[in-house]
Amino acid sequence: MWTLNKTSYKEQDILVNESLFTLGNGYLGVRGCFEEQSLPSIRGTYINGFYDTTPLSYSEKLYGFPDDSERQVNVIEAQTVEIYLDGEKVSLTKDKVLDFEQTLDMKQGISIRKYTYLTAHQKKAILCFKRLVSFKFEYLFLMDVDIEYDGFIEMKSFLEGDLYTYADETDPRVGSHKEQVLNIEDIGFDKSHQWIKAKTLKSDLTIKTVSTYETAVPVISRIENSSVVSMMSGTNKLQMTKYTAYLSSLKEYSDSDIKVVEVYSFEEHMSFQKSYLDLFWEASDIEILGDKELQRGIRFNLFQLLQSVGKDGKTNIGAKGLTGEGYEGHTFWDTEIYILPCLLMSQPELSKKLLMYRYDQLEEGRERARVLGHKRGSKFPWRTITGKECSSYFPAGTAQYHINGDVSYSIIQYYLMTDDLEFMITYGFEVLIETSLLWLELGHFYNGSFRIDAVTGPDEYSCVVNNNYYTNLIAKYNMHWTYMMKDLLEVHNPEAFNQLMEKLEVTEVDFNNFRKADEQMYLPYDETLNINLQDDHFLEKKLWDFENTPKEKYPLLLHFHPLTIYRHQVLKQADTVLAHLLLEEYTEESVRRDSFHYYEKLTTHDSSLSSCIYGMMASKLGEHKHAEEYFNETIFLDLKNTHKNTKDGLHMANLGGSILAILKGFAGFRITKEGIRLSPWIPDKWESVKFKIRIKSSWIEVRIAKDIQMTLIQGDSVSVTIYNDSYELEDSLRIRRQYD
């Protein structure tokens, strides 16, 4: 099941399908719009990290509120092709389109759309559109259009520079203002190329988009307003391949780069694409036997993550990736908790690139921490593109200090999986120190415990609270590993270690304080309910009236004032349950179980980051039917548009969450300082699930069926704990699965 197929289309599904059929490579993303420019359409083309600034408006602006935000720019559009058959313009209406088929091929890395068109004179034409966004040449978008028709065929192909950002004033998850964000500086053509060069209004980034055509007929170009229109025509058959290079100032590109790619045919570029993906799937595929739709779903989610994630160490992955304009292209904590862990299992080098992105933001974070009143440490932004805080609503934004712990958690997980001490001494340890210093600044010792006040945890329906359990626990883990890592690195590379201590002006007193705060961290607990409290006063609030809240009032954030929500026991997403999932070693199973059941009934799952977490915890607790239900919700969230906003782009964190639901849920995978642990099970209707793990220098294949088989494919032996028994994996291991 390597393809996503549509054999018909409905107007109400077009925007969603544009997101689903997006093609990208981590640098460039092109929504899956119809070339014939059907309406409605969000004709988006995006470059990772290419942004403009936009002023933030406040009626009452207080100290430290950000002045500006950053917004992903919709760059020059090259998809549109107008087609005329004997002078009749091809229009996608149901009574004229026959045998429609649209395919996203995840093994080939291309999309194909084909249909028969019936003209007003009852003559038939066969139209085929192919496209790819190259993994080999990251700036290249390639289209191939092939038309067969017994008559005269004309094509007009466009480069369009008059573009606007998408806006929806009714939805805070999308930008509220439609804006033009590019100024055209140069537009033109010569005998072989067409181009538009533009510049952002405020960030001074430039983009030059250059197209050329491979076709057997003459190409005649002209300028129409802000577009370059290229025309070609023929009889009976007309075929053209359009090469478009997106040369942004983020990289060192030149006009000659288009000449590098145009020497290869579309078929040769397809071959490059397949070679790249063969390597990716060999390492990262998750093979499910027994459920074809789930198999398709998990591969779709893996493929879309690959297409959107930054691969250069300078860019990240936005909440909607490169598939749409939801959340304005901003990066959140989604990366570290939902996406990076998936990649870390089989693509550690790619995970490292994402961590480098955060490392590069440390200085900006130091400046932000000073604005927030902290004398030391670095505060990562809640939402950002370049490292600048872009959140204008601090209760559900800046107050989420747990982003510091999330980044540090991912660095620790990377170290445990790779044993990469060089990365730690050069980059990772500095992040751990700066985040730990901020925890000391943020929190305080009181009555023998370390407490953290006025923060917001992952649950954005409970804002600015004292002692959020998730925040306190991940801060504890952060500081624990900071002084633990000190002991490792001081021996590993004493010279580099001492240089870093001098640079950061960190002393033994600081490390002792990290240890003290770790050991005395206050973790709120209610003895009566046997649960960890989400925060100090959560249980004192009134319960939300779920029984009398109709379905059309969800998500609550679109229908109720924030203060109304904050005064109730109601959760947008997993909070304490997420803490228990990530750091289960800090609590007894009975506490995790009781907490799960208490908070589950209060959670709306208004966030796409939620269901996967509850599903994984259900797996951990042995509530398998429950886990399977959550998994089905997660894996099909975008494919079935269950949150009704897939048109704004795919939910990247949820894509990652569905993958983690298999790896960390069904397989029960965990990595700790003691090594790998698994506690596998699979749904009854599955025959098996198979995947690979990269641990340090070794590759392991895991197959879970009626038994569990682990095979060391490459590298040194690996210590593994399955359920509660320990093994040394040197070749192949098969044991009986321990669950009913």
Q: Which positions are annotated as active-site residues? A: 460
Specify the pairing of strand 3-6 against strand 182-189: unpaired
Q: CA angle 231-236-239, nearest 5°?
A: 50
Strand runs labelled E in 205-326: 206-215, 220-224, 227-248, 287-289
User: How far from 712 is each of 462, 728, 734, CA to CA, in Å?
Assistant: 46, 10, 12
Token representation of residue 341: 């862990």
The DSSP annotation for 400-460 comes to -THHHHHHHHHHHHHHHHH--HHHIIIIIHHHHHHHHHHHHHH-EEETTEEE--SB--S-T
Task: Report residue 446: phi and psi, to 5°.
Answer: -150, 125
Q: How many CB atoms lie within 10 A of CB 545?
A: 9
Q: How many CB atoms lie within 10 A of CB 715?
A: 13
Task: Report residue 557: phi and psi, to 5°.
Answer: -60, -20
Token representation of residue 667: 């397989």
Q: Enumerate residues 6+ apart whose C-beta is below 8 A from 381.
A: 361, 364, 365, 368, 387, 388, 389, 390, 391, 403
Is residue 161 within 8 Å of 76, Cβ to Cβ?
yes
Torsion of CA 637, 642, 646, 652, to 10 degrees: -30
Is residue 450 within 8 Å of 522, Cβ to Cβ?
yes
Q: Enumerate residues 6+ apart whose C-beta is below 8 A from 453.
A: 443, 444, 466, 467
Q: How many CB atoms lie within 10 A of CB 280?
A: 17
What stretches of 49-140 show up as alpha helix (H) in DSSP?
none
Separation CA 439–CA 514 (nearest Å): 9
User: How far from 23 is each of 37, 149, 549, 635, CA to CA, in Å?
Assistant: 17, 29, 39, 19
